[in-house]
Amino acid sequence: MRKVQKILLGIFLGGVLLGGIGTGVALVEYSSLAYGGERLIGEEGMVTREIDYTFVPGEERISIVSGYWIDGVEVDDTVPEGIIRYEVTYNEKTVEPSVCSWEASKAQQEAWEDENQVTEYEVFQEDVQEAVMDAEETEVTNSQEDDMGEDETLRPSEMRQTCLEFRVRYIHSDFAVLMECKDEILAELKQKRIFNYQMSYVAEVRIRANSKTIPYIRSQSTRYSVYP
């Protein structure tokens, strides 16, 4: 009986010894790895897509809801009038982008009007008058000229006010994308380099609108820069 106990004790101590050696080897291996910084994975799935929202300027006013990817509205006269164009660069394997719209609540509309009760309408009227003058210089049709001459432009408070918000729906599987990149990750480990791997989702969102549409758009950080 004692002989069996001695054998079992020897096996146990041998296991502890081998386990300790294995742990030491692993620690030596880990300590020899060099940190390579951050690296995006899944970039091969990046695509660019345009999402348009169409409205009638003068009947509707748009408020762009600010968000993580939103940085104002850019002037681009290649975009037709009455269209707000979202240009989204994203990973089609991980997210699905969309632009949601809803009519502003009465409380939101009142808050917008209270922000600048006097100057807002004056600036708005100046922008509309400039748009009318530009349209006349481009020789619009007689019917359009007659409509503009009647000066029936609605006040901002009388227009339908719509909120626009950019959203994404996550459709990714981190594990699936990780497995697709496993060969690259293993190759880097063999080279004794380790990275902080980050999944790519949305790279950029640009909002563009015609200069004649801009007066009907409200954004917290509107940038009046010419789109290259």
Question: Mind giving me the DSSP string for 68-93?
Answer: SS---EEE-TTSPTTEEEEEEEEETT
Between strands 83-91 and 46-54, the pairing is antiparallel
**Are 209 and 132 in the same domain?**
yes
**22 and 51 within one domain:** no
In a domain, 96, yes or no: yes
Q: Which two tokens stand for residue 133?
A: 């003058």
Q: Is residue 161 part of a domain?
A: yes
Looking at the structure, tell me whether residues 119 and 167 fall in a common domain. Answer: yes
For residue 78, the model assigns a pLDDT of 95
Number of structural domains found in the chain? 2
9 and 55 share one domain = no
Tell me: do 73 and 25 sit in the same domain.
no
Same domain, 134 and 182: yes
Pair of tokens at residue 142 = 């007689």
pLDDT in tens, the chain (228 residues): 454 444 444 554 455 444 544 444 444 455 667 776 777 777 788 999 999 999 999 888 898 887 778 778 999 999 999 999 999 999 998 899 999 998 877 666 666 665 544 444 445 555 555 655 665 565 545 555 455 444 455 565 677 888 899 999 988 776 777 777 778 778 877 777 877 777 788 989 999 999 999 999 887 544 433 333
Q: Are residues 6 and 69 in the same domain?
A: no
Looking at the structure, tell me whether residues 50 and 28 fall in a common domain: no
pLDDT for 136 equals 56
Residue 11 lies in a domain: yes
Q: Would you say residue 57 lies in a domain?
A: yes
Phi and psi (nearest 5°) for 202? Answer: -115, 125
**Dihedral, CA atoms, 65, 71, 73, 75, nearest 10 degrees?**
180
44/15 same-domain check: no
Domain extent at residue 11? 2-32
Which pLDDT belongs to residue 4? 44
228 belongs to a structural domain: no
What value does the CA radius of gyration of the chain take, rounded to a whole number of Å?
30
